[in-house]
Amino acid sequence: MNIQAYIESGIIESYVLGLADADESAELEMLCRQHPEIQAALTNFETQIEKQAFNNAIAPPPELKDRLMDMLEQDFKEQNDSKKIPPPIVEMNNIQNAGTRQSSFWRYFAAASVILLIGSAALNLYLYNNYNDTAARYEALLAERNNLQASNGVFQTRLNGLEESFRIIQNPQVLAVKLPGVNGHTENIAAVYWDSQTKDVYLMPTKMDKAPEGKQYQLWAIVDGKPVDAGMVEDCNGLCKMKNISKAQAFAITLEDKGGSPAPHLEALYVYGNVNG
Amino acid sequence: MQDSKKYTEAELVSLLKERQQPVFSYLYDNYSGALFSVINAIIPDKDTAGDVLQEVFVKIWKQSATYDATKGRLFTWMMNIARNASIDMLRSKNYQHNAQNRELTGNVYEQVGTTVTNIDQIGLRKLVHTLKSEQKVLVELSYFEGYTQDEISKMLNIPLGTVKTRLRAALLQLRELVKN
Protein backbone atom coordinates (compact mmCIF):
# COMPACT_ATOMS: atom_id res chain seq x y z
CA MET A 1 0.00 0.00 0.00
CA ASN A 2 1.01 3.62 -0.47
CA ILE A 3 1.81 4.75 3.04
CA GLN A 4 2.39 8.39 2.11
CA ALA A 5 -0.99 8.61 0.36
CA TYR A 6 -2.66 7.05 3.42
CA ILE A 7 -1.03 9.61 5.73
CA GLU A 8 -2.17 12.43 3.43
CA SER A 9 -5.75 11.11 3.15
CA GLY A 10 -7.06 12.95 6.21
CA ILE A 11 -8.00 9.71 7.98
CA ILE A 12 -5.52 10.31 10.82
CA GLU A 13 -7.08 13.71 11.53
CA SER A 14 -10.60 12.22 11.42
CA TYR A 15 -9.52 9.56 13.91
CA VAL A 16 -7.96 11.97 16.41
CA LEU A 17 -10.96 14.32 16.29
CA GLY A 18 -13.38 11.44 16.81
CA LEU A 19 -14.92 11.69 13.32
CA ALA A 20 -13.77 8.33 11.92
CA ASP A 21 -16.25 5.43 11.87
CA ALA A 22 -15.55 2.06 13.51
CA ASP A 23 -14.11 0.44 10.36
CA GLU A 24 -11.79 3.33 9.61
CA SER A 25 -10.59 3.40 13.24
CA ALA A 26 -9.93 -0.33 13.34
CA GLU A 27 -7.97 -0.11 10.09
CA LEU A 28 -5.88 2.79 11.35
CA GLU A 29 -5.09 1.04 14.63
CA MET A 30 -3.96 -2.05 12.72
CA LEU A 31 -1.84 -0.07 10.24
CA CYS A 32 -0.19 1.84 13.10
CA ARG A 33 1.14 -1.42 14.47
CA GLN A 34 2.57 -2.39 11.07
CA HIS A 35 3.95 0.95 9.86
CA PRO A 36 5.96 3.16 12.21
CA GLU A 37 5.54 6.10 9.76
CA ILE A 38 1.77 6.03 10.25
CA GLN A 39 2.17 5.75 14.02
CA ALA A 40 4.55 8.74 13.92
CA ALA A 41 2.12 10.82 11.86
CA LEU A 42 -0.67 9.96 14.32
CA THR A 43 1.37 10.92 17.38
CA ASN A 44 2.50 14.07 15.62
CA PHE A 45 -1.05 15.30 14.95
CA GLU A 46 -2.17 14.30 18.46
CA THR A 47 0.69 16.29 19.97
CA GLN A 48 -0.17 19.33 17.87
CA ILE A 49 -3.85 19.26 18.75
CA GLU A 50 -2.87 18.86 22.40
CA LYS A 51 -0.48 21.81 22.18
CA GLN A 52 -3.16 23.86 20.48
CA ALA A 53 -5.65 23.08 23.27
CA PHE A 54 -3.09 23.96 25.95
CA ASN A 55 -2.16 27.24 24.26
CA ASN A 56 -5.83 28.18 24.16
CA ALA A 57 -6.68 26.89 27.64
CA ILE A 58 -9.49 28.69 29.46
CA ALA A 59 -9.62 28.64 33.24
CA PRO A 60 -12.79 26.85 34.41
CA PRO A 61 -14.92 28.33 37.23
CA PRO A 62 -12.70 28.22 40.36
CA GLU A 63 -15.23 26.47 42.64
CA LEU A 64 -15.42 23.48 40.30
CA LYS A 65 -12.38 21.68 41.65
CA ASP A 66 -13.68 21.61 45.23
CA ARG A 67 -17.05 20.41 44.00
CA LEU A 68 -15.38 17.55 42.14
CA MET A 69 -13.15 16.64 45.08
CA ASP A 70 -16.25 16.40 47.30
CA MET A 71 -18.12 14.35 44.73
CA LEU A 72 -15.33 11.83 44.29
CA GLU A 73 -14.35 11.62 47.94
CA GLN A 74 -15.85 8.14 48.33
CA ASP A 75 -13.95 7.02 45.28
CA PHE A 76 -10.44 7.97 46.34
CA LYS A 77 -8.37 5.11 47.74
CA GLU A 78 -6.67 5.59 51.10
CA GLN A 79 -2.98 6.23 50.62
CA ASN A 80 -2.12 4.14 53.64
CA ASP A 81 -4.06 2.56 56.44
CA SER A 82 -1.62 3.40 59.21
CA LYS A 83 -3.23 6.75 59.85
CA LYS A 84 -6.03 5.28 61.95
CA ILE A 85 -6.32 7.00 65.32
CA PRO A 86 -6.46 4.65 68.36
CA PRO A 87 -9.66 5.03 70.37
CA PRO A 88 -9.21 7.16 73.54
CA ILE A 89 -9.25 5.47 76.92
CA VAL A 90 -11.83 6.83 79.36
CA GLU A 91 -11.48 6.19 83.06
CA MET A 92 -14.64 5.14 84.83
CA ASN A 93 -15.67 6.93 88.01
CA ASN A 94 -15.98 4.84 91.09
CA ILE A 95 -19.54 3.73 91.52
CA GLN A 96 -20.88 5.04 94.80
CA ASN A 97 -23.40 3.29 96.87
CA ALA A 98 -26.70 5.20 96.66
CA GLY A 99 -28.15 3.81 99.89
CA THR A 100 -31.70 2.87 100.87
CA ARG A 101 -33.64 5.33 98.62
CA GLN A 102 -32.52 3.24 95.65
CA SER A 103 -35.26 0.57 95.78
CA SER A 104 -38.27 2.97 95.75
CA PHE A 105 -36.64 4.94 92.87
CA TRP A 106 -36.35 1.80 90.76
CA ARG A 107 -40.01 0.94 91.41
CA TYR A 108 -41.18 4.31 90.01
CA PHE A 109 -38.73 4.04 87.18
CA ALA A 110 -40.10 0.61 86.17
CA ALA A 111 -43.72 1.87 86.24
CA ALA A 112 -42.83 4.88 84.08
CA SER A 113 -41.02 2.60 81.62
CA VAL A 114 -44.05 0.34 81.23
CA ILE A 115 -46.33 3.35 80.57
CA LEU A 116 -43.89 4.75 78.03
CA LEU A 117 -43.62 1.36 76.33
CA ILE A 118 -47.41 1.06 75.96
CA GLY A 119 -47.61 4.64 74.65
CA SER A 120 -44.82 4.00 72.20
CA ALA A 121 -46.43 0.77 70.96
CA ALA A 122 -49.71 2.59 70.31
CA LEU A 123 -47.90 5.36 68.47
CA ASN A 124 -46.02 2.78 66.40
CA LEU A 125 -49.24 1.09 65.42
CA TYR A 126 -50.77 4.40 64.39
CA LEU A 127 -47.71 5.44 62.37
CA TYR A 128 -47.47 2.00 60.77
CA ASN A 129 -51.08 2.26 59.54
CA ASN A 130 -50.37 5.73 58.21
CA TYR A 131 -47.27 4.43 56.47
CA ASN A 132 -49.17 1.56 54.82
CA ASP A 133 -51.79 3.95 53.56
CA THR A 134 -49.21 6.36 52.13
CA ALA A 135 -47.18 3.55 50.57
CA ALA A 136 -50.27 2.21 48.82
CA ARG A 137 -51.15 5.64 47.50
CA TYR A 138 -47.56 6.17 46.39
CA GLU A 139 -47.61 2.85 44.49
CA ALA A 140 -50.83 3.88 42.78
CA LEU A 141 -49.36 7.22 41.79
CA LEU A 142 -46.23 5.55 40.49
CA ALA A 143 -48.27 3.14 38.36
CA GLU A 144 -50.31 6.03 37.02
CA ARG A 145 -47.20 8.02 36.20
CA ASN A 146 -45.68 5.03 34.36
CA ASN A 147 -48.87 4.65 32.34
CA LEU A 148 -48.83 8.32 31.42
CA GLN A 149 -45.19 8.14 30.48
CA ALA A 150 -45.76 5.10 28.29
CA SER A 151 -48.67 6.69 26.44
CA ASN A 152 -46.65 9.88 26.08
CA GLY A 153 -43.89 7.82 24.45
CA VAL A 154 -46.39 6.27 22.05
CA PHE A 155 -47.72 9.69 21.07
CA GLN A 156 -44.25 11.06 20.64
CA THR A 157 -43.27 8.25 18.30
CA ARG A 158 -46.44 8.78 16.26
CA LEU A 159 -45.90 12.53 16.16
CA ASN A 160 -42.30 12.10 15.06
CA GLY A 161 -43.39 9.76 12.28
CA LEU A 162 -46.06 12.18 11.12
CA GLU A 163 -43.73 15.17 11.31
CA GLU A 164 -41.16 13.29 9.25
CA SER A 165 -43.88 12.44 6.68
CA PHE A 166 -45.00 16.05 6.57
CA ARG A 167 -41.44 17.23 6.01
CA ILE A 168 -41.02 14.83 3.07
CA ILE A 169 -44.33 15.88 1.48
CA GLN A 170 -43.45 19.56 1.83
CA ASN A 171 -40.04 19.20 0.20
CA PRO A 172 -40.19 20.96 -3.21
CA GLN A 173 -37.93 18.35 -4.84
CA VAL A 174 -40.38 15.58 -3.93
CA LEU A 175 -42.77 14.67 -6.71
CA ALA A 176 -46.30 13.58 -5.76
CA VAL A 177 -47.92 10.83 -7.85
CA LYS A 178 -51.62 10.14 -7.23
CA LEU A 179 -52.68 6.51 -7.57
CA PRO A 180 -56.48 6.37 -8.01
CA GLY A 181 -58.37 3.06 -7.82
CA VAL A 182 -58.90 1.10 -11.06
CA ASN A 183 -62.24 -0.40 -12.17
CA GLY A 184 -63.68 -2.54 -9.43
CA HIS A 185 -61.57 -0.85 -6.75
CA THR A 186 -62.54 2.77 -7.33
CA GLU A 187 -62.98 3.43 -3.62
CA ASN A 188 -59.22 2.84 -3.10
CA ILE A 189 -56.66 5.62 -3.37
CA ALA A 190 -52.95 5.98 -2.56
CA ALA A 191 -50.15 8.41 -3.30
CA VAL A 192 -46.44 7.99 -4.02
CA TYR A 193 -43.92 10.67 -3.00
CA TRP A 194 -40.76 10.36 -5.06
CA ASP A 195 -37.64 12.35 -4.17
CA SER A 196 -36.16 13.48 -7.49
CA GLN A 197 -32.67 13.89 -5.97
CA THR A 198 -32.16 10.90 -3.69
CA LYS A 199 -34.68 8.74 -5.64
CA ASP A 200 -36.19 7.60 -2.34
CA VAL A 201 -39.79 6.43 -2.73
CA TYR A 202 -42.43 6.92 0.00
CA LEU A 203 -45.96 5.57 -0.09
CA MET A 204 -49.06 6.99 1.57
CA PRO A 205 -51.78 4.29 1.54
CA THR A 206 -54.47 6.97 1.89
CA LYS A 207 -57.47 4.66 1.66
CA MET A 208 -56.88 1.00 0.84
CA ASP A 209 -59.13 -1.97 1.58
CA LYS A 210 -57.82 -4.05 4.45
CA ALA A 211 -55.63 -6.81 2.97
CA PRO A 212 -57.21 -10.27 3.61
CA GLU A 213 -55.40 -12.83 5.78
CA GLY A 214 -52.24 -14.15 4.06
CA LYS A 215 -52.24 -11.33 1.48
CA GLN A 216 -50.23 -8.12 1.30
CA TYR A 217 -50.16 -5.10 -0.98
CA GLN A 218 -47.07 -4.71 -3.18
CA LEU A 219 -45.89 -1.51 -4.89
CA TRP A 220 -44.58 -1.68 -8.47
CA ALA A 221 -42.72 0.92 -10.50
CA ILE A 222 -43.45 0.73 -14.22
CA VAL A 223 -40.12 1.25 -15.99
CA ASP A 224 -40.26 1.33 -19.81
CA GLY A 225 -43.43 -0.77 -19.72
CA LYS A 226 -42.02 -3.38 -17.34
CA PRO A 227 -43.07 -3.69 -13.67
CA VAL A 228 -40.23 -3.46 -11.13
CA ASP A 229 -40.74 -4.46 -7.48
CA ALA A 230 -40.73 -1.33 -5.29
CA GLY A 231 -41.34 -3.08 -1.98
CA MET A 232 -44.08 -4.47 0.25
CA VAL A 233 -46.62 -2.21 1.97
CA GLU A 234 -46.22 -2.66 5.71
CA ASP A 235 -48.31 -1.18 8.50
CA CYS A 236 -46.49 2.14 8.89
CA ASN A 237 -46.81 5.32 10.87
CA GLY A 238 -47.47 8.01 8.24
CA LEU A 239 -45.44 7.47 5.08
CA CYS A 240 -43.98 4.05 4.26
CA LYS A 241 -40.40 4.13 3.01
CA MET A 242 -40.23 1.92 -0.09
CA LYS A 243 -37.34 0.80 -2.30
CA ASN A 244 -35.17 3.35 -4.06
CA ILE A 245 -36.33 3.71 -7.69
CA SER A 246 -34.12 5.63 -10.10
CA LYS A 247 -36.51 5.78 -13.03
CA ALA A 248 -40.23 5.14 -13.53
CA GLN A 249 -43.13 6.28 -15.72
CA ALA A 250 -45.89 5.00 -13.44
CA PHE A 251 -46.60 3.31 -10.11
CA ALA A 252 -49.16 0.63 -9.28
CA ILE A 253 -50.25 -1.49 -6.33
CA THR A 254 -51.42 -5.10 -6.58
CA LEU A 255 -52.62 -7.53 -3.91
CA GLU A 256 -50.15 -10.41 -3.67
CA ASP A 257 -49.46 -13.34 -1.35
CA LYS A 258 -47.78 -12.30 1.89
CA GLY A 259 -44.07 -11.66 1.25
CA GLY A 260 -44.60 -10.52 -2.33
CA SER A 261 -44.34 -11.94 -5.84
CA PRO A 262 -41.55 -11.63 -8.42
CA ALA A 263 -44.09 -10.42 -11.02
CA PRO A 264 -47.43 -8.69 -10.42
CA HIS A 265 -50.80 -10.44 -10.86
CA LEU A 266 -52.56 -7.94 -13.10
CA GLU A 267 -56.06 -9.18 -12.17
CA ALA A 268 -55.22 -8.09 -8.60
CA LEU A 269 -54.39 -4.52 -9.65
CA TYR A 270 -55.92 -2.04 -7.17
CA VAL A 271 -54.53 1.42 -7.93
CA TYR A 272 -52.48 2.88 -10.75
CA GLY A 273 -51.08 6.33 -11.55
CA ASN A 274 -48.77 7.89 -14.13
CA VAL A 275 -45.83 10.06 -13.10
CA ASN A 276 -46.55 13.69 -14.17
CA GLY A 277 -50.10 12.88 -15.06
CA MET B 1 -0.85 24.23 41.28
CA GLN B 2 -0.43 22.31 44.53
CA ASP B 3 2.18 19.91 43.31
CA SER B 4 5.07 21.24 41.30
CA LYS B 5 6.22 17.74 40.31
CA LYS B 6 5.70 16.97 36.62
CA TYR B 7 4.69 13.45 35.68
CA THR B 8 5.41 11.92 32.29
CA GLU B 9 2.34 10.68 30.47
CA ALA B 10 3.23 7.02 31.13
CA GLU B 11 3.67 7.71 34.87
CA LEU B 12 0.38 9.56 34.99
CA VAL B 13 -1.47 6.73 33.27
CA SER B 14 -0.21 4.12 35.71
CA LEU B 15 -0.87 6.39 38.72
CA LEU B 16 -4.41 7.07 37.50
CA LYS B 17 -5.24 3.41 37.87
CA GLU B 18 -4.21 3.55 41.56
CA ARG B 19 -7.01 6.10 42.09
CA GLN B 20 -5.39 8.26 44.72
CA GLN B 21 -6.61 11.73 45.50
CA PRO B 22 -3.36 13.66 44.79
CA VAL B 23 -3.23 12.20 41.26
CA PHE B 24 -6.71 13.46 40.56
CA SER B 25 -5.75 16.87 41.86
CA TYR B 26 -2.71 16.91 39.58
CA LEU B 27 -4.77 15.76 36.59
CA TYR B 28 -7.31 18.52 37.21
CA ASP B 29 -4.71 21.24 37.66
CA ASN B 30 -2.93 20.28 34.45
CA TYR B 31 -5.72 19.40 32.07
CA SER B 32 -8.86 21.30 33.15
CA GLY B 33 -8.01 24.48 31.22
CA ALA B 34 -7.31 22.70 27.93
CA LEU B 35 -10.41 20.49 28.27
CA PHE B 36 -12.55 23.47 29.25
CA SER B 37 -11.59 25.21 26.01
CA VAL B 38 -12.64 22.10 24.06
CA ILE B 39 -16.04 22.15 25.82
CA ASN B 40 -16.51 25.91 25.72
CA ALA B 41 -15.99 25.91 21.93
CA ILE B 42 -19.15 23.76 21.71
CA ILE B 43 -21.13 25.05 24.71
CA PRO B 44 -20.81 28.86 24.90
CA ASP B 45 -22.60 29.23 28.23
CA LYS B 46 -19.87 29.16 30.90
CA ASP B 47 -22.04 27.67 33.67
CA THR B 48 -23.29 24.84 31.48
CA ALA B 49 -19.78 24.27 30.15
CA GLY B 50 -18.63 24.03 33.79
CA ASP B 51 -21.27 21.35 34.47
CA VAL B 52 -20.03 19.42 31.44
CA LEU B 53 -16.41 19.71 32.60
CA GLN B 54 -17.41 18.28 35.98
CA GLU B 55 -19.13 15.35 34.29
CA VAL B 56 -16.09 14.84 32.06
CA PHE B 57 -13.67 14.62 35.00
CA VAL B 58 -15.93 12.15 36.80
CA LYS B 59 -15.98 10.04 33.61
CA ILE B 60 -12.21 10.26 33.17
CA TRP B 61 -11.71 9.21 36.78
CA LYS B 62 -14.20 6.35 36.76
CA GLN B 63 -13.29 5.04 33.31
CA SER B 64 -9.52 5.41 33.52
CA ALA B 65 -9.19 1.61 33.38
CA THR B 66 -10.65 1.60 29.86
CA TYR B 67 -7.98 3.94 28.46
CA ASP B 68 -5.75 2.04 26.02
CA ALA B 69 -2.39 3.72 25.41
CA THR B 70 -1.83 1.78 22.18
CA LYS B 71 -4.79 3.56 20.58
CA GLY B 72 -3.64 7.10 21.20
CA ARG B 73 -2.41 9.68 23.67
CA LEU B 74 -4.09 10.32 27.02
CA PHE B 75 -5.12 13.82 26.01
CA THR B 76 -6.75 12.57 22.80
CA TRP B 77 -8.82 10.16 24.90
CA MET B 78 -9.83 12.87 27.36
CA MET B 79 -10.54 15.37 24.56
CA ASN B 80 -12.91 12.90 22.90
CA ILE B 81 -14.73 12.31 26.20
CA ALA B 82 -15.07 16.10 26.52
CA ARG B 83 -16.36 16.52 22.96
CA ASN B 84 -18.87 13.68 23.27
CA ALA B 85 -20.19 14.99 26.59
CA SER B 86 -20.52 18.50 25.10
CA ILE B 87 -22.45 17.23 22.11
CA ASP B 88 -24.71 15.18 24.37
CA MET B 89 -25.39 18.39 26.29
CA LEU B 90 -26.01 20.31 23.06
CA ARG B 91 -28.57 17.68 22.03
CA SER B 92 -30.30 17.45 25.43
CA LYS B 93 -33.89 18.69 25.57
CA ASN B 94 -33.15 20.84 28.58
CA TYR B 95 -30.30 22.68 26.90
CA GLN B 96 -32.21 23.27 23.67
CA HIS B 97 -35.12 24.60 25.69
CA ASN B 98 -32.85 27.07 27.47
CA ALA B 99 -31.21 28.04 24.19
CA GLN B 100 -34.65 28.86 22.80
CA ASN B 101 -35.34 31.04 25.82
CA ARG B 102 -32.09 32.86 25.24
CA GLU B 103 -33.02 33.49 21.63
CA LEU B 104 -36.37 34.91 22.69
CA THR B 105 -34.68 37.46 24.89
CA GLY B 106 -32.31 38.63 22.19
CA ASN B 107 -29.02 37.91 20.56
CA VAL B 108 -27.00 35.43 22.59
CA TYR B 109 -23.74 37.22 22.16
CA GLU B 110 -24.91 40.74 22.82
CA GLN B 111 -26.59 40.28 26.17
CA VAL B 112 -25.11 42.42 28.88
CA GLY B 113 -23.93 40.78 32.06
CA THR B 114 -24.04 37.14 30.96
CA THR B 115 -21.11 34.81 30.77
CA VAL B 116 -21.86 33.58 27.27
CA THR B 117 -18.75 33.58 25.12
CA ASN B 118 -18.54 34.13 21.41
CA ILE B 119 -17.63 30.58 20.43
CA ASP B 120 -16.13 31.63 17.12
CA GLN B 121 -13.18 32.96 19.08
CA ILE B 122 -12.40 29.82 21.08
CA GLY B 123 -9.55 27.40 20.43
CA LEU B 124 -9.96 25.07 17.49
CA ARG B 125 -13.17 26.80 16.40
CA LYS B 126 -11.23 30.01 15.77
CA LEU B 127 -8.98 28.13 13.33
CA VAL B 128 -11.93 26.41 11.67
CA HIS B 129 -13.42 29.83 10.98
CA THR B 130 -10.49 30.71 8.76
CA LEU B 131 -11.23 27.78 6.42
CA LYS B 132 -13.08 28.50 3.18
CA SER B 133 -16.83 28.35 3.69
CA GLU B 134 -17.57 25.03 1.93
CA GLN B 135 -15.01 23.35 4.21
CA LYS B 136 -15.95 25.32 7.32
CA VAL B 137 -19.57 24.23 7.25
CA LEU B 138 -18.59 20.54 7.14
CA VAL B 139 -16.23 20.78 10.13
CA GLU B 140 -18.81 22.85 12.01
CA LEU B 141 -21.61 20.33 11.46
CA SER B 142 -19.52 17.21 12.08
CA TYR B 143 -17.05 18.16 14.80
CA PHE B 144 -18.84 20.93 16.70
CA GLU B 145 -22.45 19.83 16.22
CA GLY B 146 -21.95 16.08 16.03
CA TYR B 147 -23.92 15.26 12.90
CA THR B 148 -22.99 12.08 11.00
CA GLN B 149 -21.73 12.41 7.43
CA ASP B 150 -24.92 10.75 6.24
CA GLU B 151 -27.04 13.35 8.03
CA ILE B 152 -24.90 16.16 6.63
CA SER B 153 -25.27 14.77 3.11
CA LYS B 154 -29.07 14.92 3.46
CA MET B 155 -29.06 18.34 5.17
CA LEU B 156 -26.91 20.03 2.54
CA ASN B 157 -28.08 17.97 -0.42
CA ILE B 158 -24.55 16.91 -1.32
CA PRO B 159 -23.69 13.27 -2.17
CA LEU B 160 -22.18 11.33 0.75
CA GLY B 161 -18.92 10.72 -1.16
CA THR B 162 -18.44 14.44 -1.68
CA VAL B 163 -19.07 15.13 2.00
CA LYS B 164 -16.40 12.60 2.88
CA THR B 165 -13.73 13.92 0.52
CA ARG B 166 -14.40 17.58 1.34
CA LEU B 167 -14.32 16.92 5.07
CA ARG B 168 -11.03 15.02 4.76
CA ALA B 169 -9.56 17.90 2.72
CA ALA B 170 -10.79 20.36 5.36
CA LEU B 171 -9.14 18.37 8.14
CA LEU B 172 -5.82 18.32 6.24
CA GLN B 173 -6.10 22.09 5.88
CA LEU B 174 -6.84 22.31 9.60
CA ARG B 175 -3.74 20.22 10.33
CA GLU B 176 -1.61 22.87 8.60
CA LEU B 177 -3.33 25.63 10.59
CA VAL B 178 -2.77 23.81 13.88
CA LYS B 179 0.94 23.45 13.06
CA ASN B 180 1.48 27.21 12.89
- Are both B88 and B130 inside the same structural domain? no
Domain count, chain B: 2
In a domain, B91, yes or no: yes
Residues B15, B86 within the same domain: yes
Q: Across the strands, what pairs with A175?
A: A194
Q: Which residues pair with A240 in a beta bridge?
A: A203
The CATH number covering residue B24 comes to 1.10.1740.10
Verify whether the Cβ–Cβ distance B53 to A60 is below 8 Å.
yes
Are the Cβ atoms of A76 and B19 closer than 8 angstroms? yes
B75 and B33 in a single domain? The answer is yes
Residue A216 CB burial class (10 angstroms; 0-12, 13-18, ≥19): middle
- The domain boundary residue, chosen from B81, B110, B139: B110
pLDDT digits (tens, 9 = 90+) for B140-149: 999 999 999 9
Based on the domain organization, do B26 and B62 belong to the same domain? yes
Bridge partners for A274 per DSSP:
A250
According to DSSP, residue A262 is labeled: S
CATH number of the domain within which B157 lies: 1.10.10.10
Question: Tell me, what's the ipTM?
Answer: 0.87
Q: Does A10 touch chain B (CB under 8 A)?
A: yes
Q: Encode B135-167: b = buried (16+ Cβ within 10 Å), e = exposed.
A: bbbbbbbbbbebbebeebbeeeeeeeeebbebb
A83: closest CA of chain B, how far (Å) = 15
Q: Do A50 and B20 touch (CB under 8 A)?
A: no
- Chain A residues within 8 A of B172 when measuring between CB atoms: 8, 10, 13
Q: Could you tell me if residue B1 is inside a domain?
A: no
Q: Are residues B81 and B139 located together in one domain of the fold?
A: no
Please check whether residue B174 is in contact with residue A13, taking contact to mean a CB–CB distance below 8 angstroms.
yes
Q: What percent of chain A has pLDDT over 90?
A: 38
Cβ contact, residue pair A18, B46, below 8 Å? no
Is A57 an 8 Å CB contact of chain B?
yes
Q: Which domain holds residue B64?
A: 9-110
Chain A residues touching B22 at Cβ < 8 A:
79
Choosing from B110, B130, B153, the residue where a domain stops is B110
The pLDDT tens digits along chain B (180 residues) read 444 567 888 888 888 877 778 888 889 999 999 999 999 999 988 889 999 999 999 999 888 888 988 899 999 999 999 999 999 999 887 787 777 666 555 444 444 444 555 666 778 888 898 898 889 999 999 999 999 999 999 999 999 999 999 999 999 999 999 887
Tell me if B40 and A65 make a contact (CB, 8 A cut-off): no
Regarding whether B136 and B89 lie in a shared domain, the answer is no
Mean pLDDT value across residues A36-55: 94
Question: Do B102 and B132 sit in the same domain of this protein?
Answer: no
* Closest residue on chain B to A173 (Cα): B157
Decide: helix, strand or coil at residue A35.
Answer: coil
- Asked if B167's CB is within 8 angstroms of A14's CB, the reply is yes
Residues B19 and B53 in one domain: yes
* Residues B18 and B78 reside in one and the same domain: yes
**How many cross-chain Cβ pairs, A to B, lie less than 8 Å apart?**
134
Q: What separation in angstroms does the CA of A276 have from each of A99, A251, B28, B135, B176?
A: 116, 11, 65, 38, 51
Residue A277 pLDDT > 60, yes or no? no
Is residue B32 domain-shared with residue B98, that is, in the same domain? yes
